[in-house]
Amino acid sequence: MIGILGNGSWATALAKLLTENHHRIAWWMRSEAAVAHLEEKGHNELYLSSVLFEPEQIKPTTDLNFMLTHCNVLVMCIPSAFMFDVLRRMPKDSLKGKKIISAIKGILPEQHQLLQEYLTAHFEVELKDYFAITGPCHAEEVAQERLSYLTFSGINTDDCQYIAALFETTYLRTTTNNDLWGSQYAAVLKNIYAVGAGIAHGLGYGDNFLSVYITSCYREMHRFLSQHFLQMNEQDTMPDFHTSAYLGDLLVTCYSPHSRNRTFGALLGKGYSVAAAKAEMNMVAEGYFASLGMKTIIDQTGIDMPIMQYIYEMLWQQKSCNGTLKKIELLLC
């Protein structure tokens, strides 16, 4: 049995893919009401409610111990801001030997770490058993069965291909790579840059500006990934960053109306405070929390990332969106 932790739109989309491939899933949710609704009605009440599930294929539960006992493959779909609250409820040896699939596109906010860095240090998880899912892919389009793509990253090629095959359908195509760190950092950064794109949209900037903005964001992302790769010496050959998991995911997250990070930024650009924008949305904008973690990481690594820095200042230091975008304008070429 495959376990899914989390009940948002992305968790629901991944549950749809797995059950369509005839895998039985255990589905952990925080709320007894959400579990009861899914058992009775066959759909997630709050997220992607048009997706229907067969009762015999799913086991919704709020019992974390059930998941840890019965599932050898666990898909982590809890927003990074809340992931640690769940991890500290787990025994330290409870993940040993399990395949862990991260669908989290963020950094643990208190530790400023990617999920696998924390799990390998504190939960006896071996890196060979850890895999990451990145885009470009919106949950809403998976629900609509529109052709989409996912990248699966893991250091063991055969195991990574096996994990990818669990999710592949006629409308969901998969590819694999062994760039665990880079692919996840790219997913973190694209959410931050998408908040900036949303702020620009909310302030009335047009597509011409956004095309140059996104180009500059990709250049900055590429610089971080390349320099971080050299600092970490993670593998013998530098990965190809000019692929959909990096550039493609950045493009769709910055442009698409499905993007929660873009939506969050647009509210800020229209004059909402950070607190008001968070209250307005029914979903978590990972880019908000990720910008704090990335600020710590770039300070530690010394890698120059001025666009990311300016977005951090708007989100965490209450710097003027209009004034800061004027500064970003001067960086673009």
Residue ending a domain, choose from 135, 153, 178: 178
Q: ∠ CA 41-45-48 to the nearest 5 degrees?
A: 110
Give yes or no for residue 235 having a pLDDT over 70: no
Q: Which amino acid is at 331?
A: L
* Per-residue pLDDT band at 105 (split at 50, 70, 90): confident
Q: What are phi and psi of 237, to 5 degrees?
A: -120, 130
Same domain, 114 and 197: no
Same domain assignment for residues 193 and 244: yes
For residues 76 and 83, is the Cβ–Cβ distance under 8 A?
Answer: yes
pLDDT digits (tens, 9 = 90+) for 202-220: 999 999 999 999 999 999 9
| Backbone torsions φ then ψ of 32, nearest 5 degrees | -65, -35
User: Which is nearest to 75 in space by CA: 30, 126, 32, 13?
Assistant: 13
Sequence-ordered strand ranges (E) for the chain: 2-5, 25-28, 58-61, 73-76, 99-102, 130-134, 148-153, 172-177
Q: How many domains would you assign to the chain?
A: 2
203 and 293 together in one domain: yes
pLDDT at 234 over 60: no
Residues 166 and 27 in one domain: yes
Share of the chain above pLDDT 70, in %: 98
When pLDDT is averaged across residues 162-189 and rounded to a whole number, the result is 95
- Closest by CA to 283, choosing from 85, 121, 140, 89, is 140
Burial profile 125-149: b = 16 or more Cβ within 10 angstroms, e = fewer: beeebbbbbbbbbbbbbbbeeeebb
Q: Within 13 Å and on the Cβ side, how many CA atoms surround 185?
A: 25
300 and 161, same domain (yes or no): no
Alpha-carbon gap, residue 139 to 212, rounded angstroms: 27
103 and 166 in a single domain? The answer is yes
CATH of the domain at 208: 1.10.1040.10
Query: End of a domain among 121, 156, 178?
Result: 178
**Residue 320: its pLDDT value, please?**
97
Q: Are residues 163 and 36 in the same domain?
A: yes
> Are residues 16 and 103 part of one domain?
yes
Same domain, 21 and 153: yes
Based on the fold, state whether residues 158 and 226 are members of the same structural domain: no
Do 200 and 174 lie in one domain? The reply is no
Q: 232 pLDDT exceeds 80?
A: no
Per-residue pLDDT, averaged over 38-49, amounts to 93
Active-site residue identified among 99, 190, 270, 326 = 190
Residues 160 and 194 in one domain: no
- What pLDDT score does 145 carry? 96
Last residue of a domain, one of 178, 195, 210: 178
- What's the CATH number where 26 sits? 3.40.50.720
Domain residues for the domain of 95 are 2-178
Is 96 annotated in the active site?
no
Percent of the chain residues past pLDDT 90, beyond the cut:
85
pLDDT digits (tens, 9 = 90+) for 252-295: 999 999 899 999 999 999 999 999 998 898 777 899 999 999 99
